[in-house]
C-alpha cells in the first residue's frame, strides 16, 4: 500500500520511510528490534515515522505489532496509523484484542475499512461489534455490501457460510474461452483475486470448475464445458469449518464452491481461509488438552480465571478419588514408609505414557484418520507399545528401588505395578477419546482429566495393593 501524502505530512512521511530498516520484518513476522524501535518512536511522539513504517507492512505483521505492545502504547499506535494500514489488519488482529483496536475507529472509518475487504473478512469484523455499533457501520455501507454481510451473519459462526466469500466468478457452460476472457476484462464485478472459474447451469448450480491456468492455455473458440473439471466438490453452507478443512486436506483443493439447500452456488471458500481454520482448530485442540477454553493470552485476569476454574475444580474432585485409594492403604504406608516415596513414580509414569497415547488418538480423530475399522488395531498397538515400554522401565525402576531401599521384593512390587499401570494407560489413553467421540463429547476437552484419574487410581491401587499382599 502506498504512503498517503498530504501537504502537511507527505514530505515528512516520505523521508521517514527511507529511514526504516529493511530488517524490521523477517520471514516469521516483526522482529523484536523493530518492536523496540516502535516503542521508542511512540514515546517520542514521532507520528511521521510510525505512519510511514506501517503503511508498507503486511496486514498480519501490523496485527502482530499491535499484539506485541502494552495496552497504552497499542492504543496510541492504532490512533496514529488507523487510516494508513491495510484494512485487512483489523481482521488479522487476535479476536480477544479486536474490540480494543476497533474502539479507535469511528463508524465511518470502520465502514470504509470493511467495504475494502472480502465478505468473509468483513463479516468476521462486523460480528465482533455490539448490535448498536453493527447497525451504525452497516448503515454506512453500500446497500449491496450491507445485504451480503447481513446474510452472512445469519449462518453459524464456524460454518462454511461464515467462512465463504461472496465474490466469485461464475459463467454459463455454453460460453467459450474468449467469452470468459472478454467478460473478465470488462466486468466491474470480477473479484480482485480468485483461483477458479465456476461453470453453472441455468439454475446457478455448479457443474464444474475451470482453473485460470487452463483457461489461459486454451484457444478462444473452445467451449468452457469441454475443458472444465467435473470432479467438483460443492460443500453445503452449514458444513462445520473443521470438516471443511479436512475436505481441503484430503483432496488438495485450492478453492471449493459453497451451495445452499437447493444446490445453488452462493459463495466460495479459498485455501487462505482454510489455513487460518487449520491453525485455529489446532490451537483449540492444544488448549483443550490443557483444560483451557481457548487462547487467553490477551484476556483480562478475571476472565482467564473464570475460564480455567471449572477444570481445576474437576481436577480437584478427581484428585480426591486418588487420595481415597491411598487412604485405604494408610496402614500399609505407615508400616513401610518407602511406599510413600515411590508412589509418585508409578503414577507419573502412567500419566505420561497415557498422555502420549491420548495425543496420538485425539489428533487421529480430529483429522478423521481414526475410524471404527481401524480403532481396534490402534488400541491393540498402543497396549503393546505400553507393555513393552512398561517392561523395560519396570526393570530399571525395580533395580533402582531395590538398591535404594535394600529390598529386592520392594523393587519387584514397583516393577509389576508399573507394567500394569503403563498397560492400563495405553489402553485407556486410546479408549477414552474414542468413547467420548462416540457419545458426542469433545475428546480434546475431557480426555485428559479422565485419563489422569484412571492412571492415578489404578497406579496407586496396584502398587499399594501389591505391597500390602507381598510385603506385610
Which of the four pLDDT bands, split at 50, 70 and 90, describes residue 2? Answer: very low
Is 301-470 in the same CATH topology as 170-270? no
Residue 188 has pLDDT above 50, yes or no: yes
Residues 172, 175, 180, 183, Cα dihedral to 10°: -80
Q: Is 216 helix (H, G, I), strand (E, B) or coil?
A: helix
pLDDT of amino acid 28: 58
Of 461 and 283, more confident = 461
Residue 8 has pLDDT above 60, yes or no: no
> What is the rounded CA–CA span in Å between residue 426 and residue 379?
8
Q: Vertex 225, ends 224 and 227: CA angle to 5°? A: 65
Q: Vertex 432, ends 428 and 435: CA angle to 5°? A: 135
Which of the four pLDDT bands, split at 50, 70 and 90, describes residue 428? Answer: very high
Which of the four pLDDT bands, split at 50, 70 and 90, describes residue 22? Answer: very low
Helix-, strand-, coil-residue percentages of the chain, each rounded to 5:
65, 10, 25
Percentage of the chain lying above the pLDDT 70 cut: 88
Q: Vertex 283, ends 279 and 285: CA angle to 5°? A: 120
The CA-atom distances, in angstroms, between 357 and each of 362, 371, 417, 447, 458 are 9, 16, 19, 11, 17
- Residue 244 in contact with residue 278, Cβ under 8 Å? no
What is the 3-class SS of 43-91, one letter each residue? Answer: HHCCHHHHHHHHHCCCHHHHHHHHHHCCHHHHHHHHHHHCCCCCCCHHH
Mean pLDDT, to the nearest integer, of 426-441?
A: 88
CATH code for the part of the protein at 301-470: 1.10.357.20
Residue 433 has pLDDT above 50, yes or no: yes
The CA-atom distances, in angstroms, between 194 and each of 178, 267, 268, 364 are 18, 12, 9, 32
Helix (H) / strand (E) element for 211: namely strand 206-211
Residue 400 has pLDDT above 50, yes or no: yes
| pLDDT (tens digit per residue) in 299-358 | 666 666 776 677 678 778 878 888 888 888 888 887 788 888 888 888 888 888 888 898
DSSP states of 314-378 as a string?
Answer: HHHHHHHHHHHHHHHTHHHHHH-THHHHHHHHHHHHHHHHHHHHHHHHHHHHHTT---HHHHHHH
Mean pLDDT, to the nearest integer, of 357-385?
A: 83
Mean pLDDT, to the nearest integer, of 159-171?
A: 92
Percentage of the chain lying above the pLDDT 90 cut: 39
Predicted structure pTM score: 0.65
Architecture of domain 10-158: Alpha Horseshoe (1.25)
Residue 388 has pLDDT above 90, yes or no: yes
Superfamily of chain region 170-270: CBS-domain (3.10.580.10)
> What is the rounded CA–CA span in Å between residue 377 and residue 358?
15
- Residue 462 in contact with residue 346, Cβ under 8 Å? yes
Mean pLDDT (the chain, rounded) = 85
| pLDDT (tens digit per residue) in 57-96 | 888 899 989 988 988 999 999 999 999 999 999 988 888 7
**What residue ranges do the domains of the chain occupy?**
10-158, 170-270, 301-470
Amino acid at each position: 500500500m502506498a504512503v498517503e501524502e498530504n501537504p502537511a505530512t507527505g514530505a515528512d512521511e516520505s523521508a521517514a520511510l527511507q529511514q526504516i530498516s529493511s530488517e524490521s520484518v523477517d520471514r516469521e513476522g516483526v522482529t523484536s528490534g523493530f518492536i523496540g524501535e516502535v516503542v521508542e518512536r511512540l514515546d517520542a511522539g514521532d507520528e511521521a515515522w510510525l505512519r510511514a513504517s506501517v503503511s508498507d507492512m503486511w496486514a498480519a505483521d501490523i496485527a502482530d505489532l499491535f499484539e506485541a505492545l502494552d495496552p497504552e502504547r497499542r492504543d496510541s499506535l492504532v490512533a496514529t496509523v488507523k487510516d494508513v494500514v491495510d484494512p485487512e489488519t483489523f481482521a488479522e488482529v487476535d479476536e480477544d484484542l479486536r474490540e480494543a483496536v476497533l474502539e479507535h475507529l469511528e463508524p465511518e472509518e470502520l465502514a470504509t475499512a470493511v467495504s475494502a475487504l472480502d465478505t468473509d473478512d468483513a463479516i468476521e469484523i462486523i460480528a465482533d461489534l455490539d448490535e448498536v455499533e453493527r447497525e451504525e457501520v452497516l448503515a454506512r455501507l453500500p446497500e449491496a455490501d450491507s445485504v451480503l454481510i447481513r446474510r452472512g451473519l445469519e449462518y453459524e459462526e464456524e460454518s462454511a457460510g461464515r467462512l465463504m466469500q461472496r465474490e466469485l466468478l461464475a459463467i454459463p457452460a455454453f460460453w467459450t474461452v474468449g467469452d470468459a476472457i472478454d467478460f473478465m476484462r470488462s466486468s466491474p464485478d470480477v473479484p480482485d483475486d480468485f483461483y477458479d472459474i465456476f461453470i453453472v447451469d441455468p439454475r446457478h448450480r455448479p457443474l464444474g470448475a475451470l482453473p485460470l491456468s487452463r483457461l489461459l492455455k486454451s484457444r478462444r473458440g473452445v467451449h468452457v464445458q469441454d475443458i472444465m473439471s467435473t470432479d467438483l466438490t460443492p460443500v453445503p453452507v452449514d458444513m462445520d469449518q473443521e470438516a471443511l478443512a479436512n475436505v481441503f486436506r484430503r483432496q488438495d483443493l485450492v478453492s471449493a464452491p459453497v451451495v445452499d439447500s437447493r444446490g445453488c452456488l452462493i459463495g466460495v471458500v479459498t485455501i487462505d481461509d482454510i489455513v487460518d481454520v487449520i491453525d485455529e482448530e489446532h490451537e483449540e485442540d492444544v488448549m483443550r488438552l490443557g483444560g483451557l477454553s481457548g487462547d487467553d493470552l490477551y484476556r483480562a485476569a478475571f476472565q482467564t480465571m473464570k475460564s480455567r476454574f471449572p477444570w481445576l475444580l474437576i481436577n480437584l474432585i478427581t484428585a480426591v478419588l486418588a487420595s481415597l485409594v491411598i487412604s485405604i492403604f494408610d496402614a500399609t504406608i505407615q508400616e513401610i514408609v518407602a511406599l510413600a516415596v515411590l508412589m509418585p513414580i508409578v503414577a507419573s509414569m502412567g500419566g505420561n505414557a497415557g498422555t502420549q497415547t491420548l495425543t496420538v488418538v485425539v489428533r487421529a480423530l480430529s483429522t478423521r484418520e481414526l475410524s471404527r475399522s481401524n480403532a481396534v488395531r490402534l488400541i491393540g498397538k498402543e497396549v503393546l507399545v505400553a507393555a513393552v515400554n512398561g517392561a523395560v522401565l519396570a526393570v530399571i525402576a525395580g533395580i533402582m528401588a531395590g538398591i535404594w531401599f535394600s529390598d529386592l521384593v520392594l523393587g519387584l512390587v514397583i516393577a509389576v505395578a508399573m507394567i500394569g499401570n503403563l498397560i492400563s494407560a495405553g489402553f485407556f489413553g486410546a479408549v477414552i477419546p474414542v468413547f467420548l467421540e462416540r457419545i458426542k463429547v469433545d475428546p480434546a476437552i475431557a480426555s485428559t482429566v479422565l485419563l489422569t484419574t484412571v492412571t492415578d487410581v489404578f497406579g496407586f491401587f496396584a502398587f499399594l495393593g501389591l505391597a500390602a499382599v507381598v510385603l506385610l
